[in-house]
Structure 1
Amino acid sequence: MTNLYLIAFILVGVITANIVKPFFPKIPESFVLIAIGALFSFIPIFNEFTLEPEFFMLLIIAPLMFMDGKEQSIRTIRTNFRLIIELSVTLAIFTALIVGILTDRLEAHWSFPLSIALAAIVVPTDAVAVKSITSGLSMPKGVNRALNLESLFNDATGLVMLNLALSVLQQGHFSLVHGINQFLIVAGGGVLVGILASFIIIKIRTYLTTHAVNAAATIIPISILTPFAIYLLAEHWGVSGILAVVASGIVHNWDSSRLRLNSTEVQLTTSTIWKTLTTILNEVVFLLLGLSLPAVINEMIQIGFDYSFELIGLSLAIYTVMFIGRFVWVRVEKSQRLQPFFGHQDQPERFKSARLFGISGVHGTITLAMAFSLPTTINGQPFPFRTELIIIATLLILISMLVASLMLPRLLPREQTDYTPEEINQIRDQMIDYAMLRSQEQISDRDIREAISAQLNSQKTNLRNFDQVRYSEEYLNELNEIADFVSAYTHGDYVNATYSDDVIDMYNKILQKTLLNPNRRRHPIRSLEHQFRRVFHEMRFHISTGTITKKQRKSFYKKRLNTDKKFAEKVKTWKANQEVLLQLNNDVMQAVDTHLDDILRENLQSKTNSNELYLARKTMDRFFTMIQHDFHQKQININSDTFVQVFRYEYDYVQKGVQDESIKPAIANILFNEINQAQALQLMKNKEETLAIE
């Protein structure tokens, strides 16, 4: 139960961070999450929280690395294979050696294998942390690709080097041949396990796609469990679980590119689930780092200020050496393979790219997880300087993130888009208004037209509800204009020639008491007071007349009809005019619909916002319903062909805008994607409702 509470509080922390982030737009998301994690550490359940490496690597890192691999195509890996080896293996080993030599020189009490163990821990870089820091900044595409390719496999390189260092510490000697063999076995074995296991899983999944009763309920859980199963399988056989899940992700990327369309629904659902899961896990990574900080700070307090200050100095020196190593490697490397990523060696672009690559060598929680994974004992003795290794790893994470957060915003320009959020909202609204107008013209059934209109307007991201616009000037102006039109129409030649004055007067009185009632415009508190008074007077009438129950009210009504001639005559007149009143209401309804369509057409031509018009239209629809005394919620069934045609109107509007260059291609791509998603969702919902009826 404690673990359940722990997971629940971590998810609450993620939710809290997402609520807090908008209030601190200039602070990188990762620092907000770390701060929230540090604050959560004061909750009793997190007291003395320590990161469990096995739990962290299996439940968080494995699925994240699987998705990182899934974002890389086999063609990309094959084209850049040598560069990946240089970034993830050669550069990692080079960096580890210079860090190990520096640490061995500065810490006289440390053995060289222990220094290499520290170097192996701090070698892995975290592309997720870099993305968090550079959110909203324009990182050069080549440097960004290099950082992603580097982080694919350098985690495994660091883990293998750490295992070799621990083996030397335990056995007391190092064999170069044994080390290389061990590296090849662990790394190559991990890749082989990931590839073979993935092909088996893909075969099973392909079979179930066509033979399972419910393919989605079978395949989606298999997809989610895949990285965990492959990681555990690889670790069980003593090879790299990280490389296994990365290789598995790459194979699944290849498989997804050739899947048949009969599994489209499953693919879309799986993709959505994985995107959400990846986002949450990326945030949990930094949250766990924040939760771990108090334990590290407590260790620094216990070892004393002087020694802690010495470790801070060592951490700064290690970071500086790692930055210089990364910078020099990119700056002096003459390989042609680096040019697409960092530019030509003789050009100023190479210097800038080298500097960005060095600063972007940010370390994350894999480094911290590796530090916490160090054994407490070795050869029956306490592991030497374990606390110091954990402290240095934590300090390096914070230093690398802090330097990147301070320097990258100064070196990188703000990310530029050729459109603004306001612009895309405006074009989206116009697209929806166009589709709504076309559907009003093509669909004869008014109930279906109004249902379609409601569905289309739900796509608007800036559409306000009645409570937000009830007292706004724009909404009241639209409503008054419509009311003036209704009043003018009911006093027009056609109505005067068709209906009696009594019916026209009755309709206008209802219009005045409801739609144009000044109480509609009162302040909410005064409006509530008015409603209270109305209810109070009704209750007093029912109590004074003794008409509490429905049966008593009927009896009182019949008695009054027999005794009150004036009332009886009034009721008789009202009943005689009721059918005629309903006919007038239908005529007014058709006239108002035509009038509102004309306004919508004018707004579309002048690119004017029609949100208040739509809400005023809904208010009029409520008024017409009240006249009809039809307050029952209608079940409107809209067939799939109608929805397809309506969404086609939206597609046509965007396509025409692209052709006449009134809509930018980037905006068109976003809107096309939204139309496809809305259409798929609506058709799926329509299918479910049809099955429920059957």
Structure 2
Amino acid sequence: METFTVTLIVLAAIAFGTVIERILPLPVPAPLIQTALGVLISLTTSYDIEIEPHIFFIIFIPPLLFLDGWRIPNDELLRDSPTVLSLAIGLVVVTVLGAGLFIHWMVPAIPLGVAFALAAIISPTDPVAVSAIAARTPVPKRIMHILEGESLLNDASGLVAMKFAVAAVLTGSFSFFSASETFGWLALGGIVTGVAMTFVITALKSQISRRLGYHGPARILTSILTPFVAYIIAEHIEASGILAAVASGIAMSVAERNDTDLAVTRIDRKAVWETIYFAASGATFVILGEQLPRLIDGASDLVVETGHGNPLWIVVYVLAISAFLAAARFIWVKISLLLTFRKEMHGDTRLQTFRLTSVITLAGARGTVTLAGIMTLPLVMTDGSEFPARDLAILLAAGVILVSLIVASVGLPVALKGLRMDEGEDHEQQIDRALVLSAQAAIVATEKRALEIREDVDETALQRQTRLILDFYRNRIDEKTSDFGEFQPRSGSRELMRVLLASAVKAEREEVFRLVRAKELPEDAARKLVDDIDLIEARFAP
């Protein structure tokens, strides 16, 4: 009963946090509010949230990484892949080595292996937090795509690096050649497993629907289970479950181009996944806040053991680590941009490079994955003794997260002023063009379907409904809008309208997906269009 009560309290805190976020006059990041509410829960209740580290990890990480992989536009990821890979892999390696040595030098009480584990887990960035921070000063789409791609890949690289570091602490040894061989299998096995599971599950869903009938809720539940299945199977074969979850999500974004789900199912699935993501990411910060008082108590004792009598040294450690991460990120980003991104700059190259470097540096806020990962540090060593400096490592990681969010919320809007980028054709123009082409396809499909059913329905009703649909799509071509306005079926003709509209929206979707495959429409723009099409179809669903 207590577990159920605690769960309800955490979920209520997440929901209440959104109310506070909207009331506040300043754009305070939701993670900071959720953490504060977690602290409030700890101070005002007697409940203790105790979660086994590995259970915590498997509950939160697979769905979060899966949805990140699902939502990121693959074409944008490929376009900026040199920059993304430089940040997601090169910067992670530099961060793990540099920050690990720095942390151990600064806090000798943290063993070198634990310092590397901490450095690995604070390397991933969280663009979701940045999106919330920059809500009132939007980040250019090109930069957001780079940050999303970096976050998606460095989540995996950071977590895998942490896994090696923790293994070295537990076993007391580390072999570079052995680790390289193991990493190869972890990466290859995880990616193959994730992609395979997504396409196998997608194929099974289609087969079952054809043989036994369509069932929307079951298909939504299957999509929720997909990242967990990929993660568990990959871990079972000793591959990377993390990479399996990421690869599974990316594969899902490809598989949905041939999606056979009904419009209502897609709408419901999107709402369900948004709720899962919102709850999972919010819960990690509420849990962090709830555990902060206890972490501070435990870490204070350890700080005293290092020779410092004042627990405020924890603040010094957090600020020093944050400064080191920011400096390393700024230097690496600047070099990377000069090599891979120079042509996209306008005006004074030096000034624009500095602004762009500053934006990407400040946008490197840490978030959910860092928090979920650090909470999975083992409680005990293989001999049964306590894992060294666990509480201090968790507290330092939590501090780095909070500092990065605060710095980003204050500095990012300032750094974005005056930044100009060549992002190619405007997304609105691309959507307008796709609206015209998809509307033309819908007109052809409607006229064809009307001819096919002409002998089986009332001629007058068919003409009225056909004209109504054609007028709507012609208006879309003229006005570049997907709003139905007063579009309603005539009395007694709803079924006829549904039959005609089914052919129209099917042709629309096929044209949109064709444009995506032909690289003539970005995936994020296509998703917006498909969402609008689904809403139209759902409006007249039986």
Of structures 1 and 2, the larger Rg is shown by: 1
Q: Which residue of 1 aligns with 2:354?
A: 351
> For 1:405, which of 382, 404, 409 is the aligned residue?
409
Structure 2 contact 39–291 (Cα < 8 Å) conserved = no
User: Residue 258 of structure 2: SS of its match in structure 1?
Assistant: coil
**1:56 matched to 2:56:** yes
- Report the TM-score when normalising by structure 2: 0.74
**1:255 matched to 2:258:** no
**1:140 matched to 2:140:** yes
How far apart in 1 are the matches of 2:277 and 2:470?
Answer: 33
> For 2:320, which of 314, 317, 322 is the aligned residue?
317
Render the CA deviation track for 1:154-204: whole Å, top value 9, x for unaligned. 122222222222232233332211121222222222111101212211210
Change (3 A) 1:672 1:407: closer
How far apart in 2 are the matches of 1:414 and 1:207?
Answer: 53
Mapping for residues 65-104 of structure 1, pairs under 5 Å: 65-104=65-104
How far apart in 2 are the matches of 1:334 and 1:18?
Answer: 36
User: Residue 129 of structure 1: SS of its match in structure 2?
Assistant: helix
**1:364 matched to 2:367:** yes
Q: Which residue of 1 aligns with 2:186?
A: 186
Cα displacement (A) at 1:24: 0.8
Structure 1 contact 53–372 (Cα < 8 Å) conserved = yes
Q: Which residue of 1 aligns with 2:390?
A: 386
How far apart in 1 are the matches of 2:138 and 2:387?
Answer: 44
Mapping for residues 185-584 of structure 1, pairs under 5 Å: 185-259=185-259, 263-300=262-299, 306-333=309-336, 336-339=339-342, 346-380=349-383, 381-413=385-417
Cα displacement (A) at 1:646: 6.8
Change (3 A) 1:641 1:171: farther
How far apart in 2 are the matches of 1:360 and 1:391?
Answer: 22
Letter in 2 for 1:289: L
How far apart in 1 are the matches of 2:466 and 2:538?
Answer: 12
How far apart in 1 are the matches of 2:130 and 2:394?
Answer: 22
Change (3 A) 1:90 1:674: closer
Structure 1 contact 84–150 (Cα < 8 Å) conserved = yes
How far apart in 2 are the matches of 1:285 and 1:114?
Answer: 22
Render the CA deviation track for 1:620-671: whole Å, top value 9, x for unaligned. xxxxxxxxxxxxxxxxxxx999888778777666765569xxxxxxxxx999
Q: Which residue of 1 aligns with 2:168?
A: 168
How far apart in 2 are the matches of 1:641 and 1:44?
Answer: 67
How far apart in 2 are the matches of 1:208 and 1:265?
Answer: 19
How far apart in 2 are the matches of 1:177 and 1:345?
Answer: 46
**1:682 matched to 2:536:** no
Higher alpha-carbon deviation: 60-69 or 367-376 = 367-376
How far apart in 1 are the matches of 2:418 and 2:53?
Answer: 37
Change (3 A) 1:23 1:313: same
Cα displacement (A) at 1:45: 6.7
Q: Which residue of 2 aligns with 1:8?
A: 8
Render the CA deviation track for 1:132-170: whole Å, top value 9, x for unaligned. 211121213333222111111212222222222223223
- Report the TM-score when normalising by structure 1: 0.59
Structure 1 contact 65–246 (Cα < 8 Å) conserved = yes
Structure 2 contact 127–365 (Cα < 8 Å) conserved = yes
Letter in 2 for 1:213: G
Structure 1 contact 342–354 (Cα < 8 Å) conserved = no
Higher alpha-carbon deviation: 193-202 or 203-212 = 203-212
Structure 2 contact 337–353 (Cα < 8 Å) conserved = no
Change (3 A) 1:329 1:39: closer
Cα displacement (A) at 1:75: 4.1
Q: Which residue of 2 aligns with 1:517?
A: none
Render the CA deviation track for 1:580-599: whole Å, top value 9, x for unaligned. xxxxxxxxxxxxxxxxxxxx
How far apart in 2 are the matches of 1:267 and 1:113?
Answer: 45
How far apart in 1 are the matches of 2:462 and 2:531?
Answer: 18
Letter in 1 for 2:333: V
User: Residue 308 of structure 1: SS of its match in structure 2?
Assistant: coil
Structure 2 unmatched runs, 5+? 420-460, 482-525
How far apart in 1 are the matches of 2:338 and 2:115?
Answer: 31
Q: Which residue of 1 aligns with 2:499?
A: none
How far apart in 2 are the matches of 1:675 and 1:354?
Answer: 36
Q: How many residues align?
A: 453
State the structure with bigger RCO (CA 8 A, min sep 6), 1 or 2: 2
Alignment RMSD: 3.6
How far apart in 1 are the matches of 2:243 and 2:217?
Answer: 28
Change (3 A) 1:265 1:120: same
Letter in 2 for 1:189: G
How far apart in 1 are the matches of 2:187 and 2:346?
Answer: 30
Q: Which residue of 2 aligns with 1:626?
A: none
User: Residue 311 of structure 2: SS of its match in structure 1?
Assistant: helix
Q: Which residue of 1 aligns with 2:113?
A: 113
Structure 2 contact 14–34 (Cα < 8 Å) conserved = no
Render the CA deviation track for 1:467-516: whole Å, top value 9, x for unaligned. xxxxxxxxxxxxxxxxxxxxxxxxxxxxxxxxxxxxxxxxxxxxxxxxxx
How far apart in 2 are the matches of 1:340 and 1:71?
Answer: 27
Change (3 A) 1:201 1:110: same
Cα displacement (A) at 1:356: 1.5
Structure 2 contact 64–277 (Cα < 8 Å) conserved = yes
How far apart in 1 are the matches of 2:418 and 2:4?
Answer: 41
Change (3 A) 1:253 1:225: same
Cα displacement (A) at 1:325: 0.8
Letter in 2 for 1:388: L
Change (3 A) 1:44 1:348: closer
How far apart in 1 are the matches of 2:28 and 2:340?
Answer: 32
User: Residue 378 of structure 1: SS of its match in structure 2?
Assistant: coil
How far apart in 2 are the matches of 1:388 and 1:135?
Answer: 33
Change (3 A) 1:307 1:373: farther
User: Residue 124 of structure 2: SS of its match in structure 1?
Assistant: coil
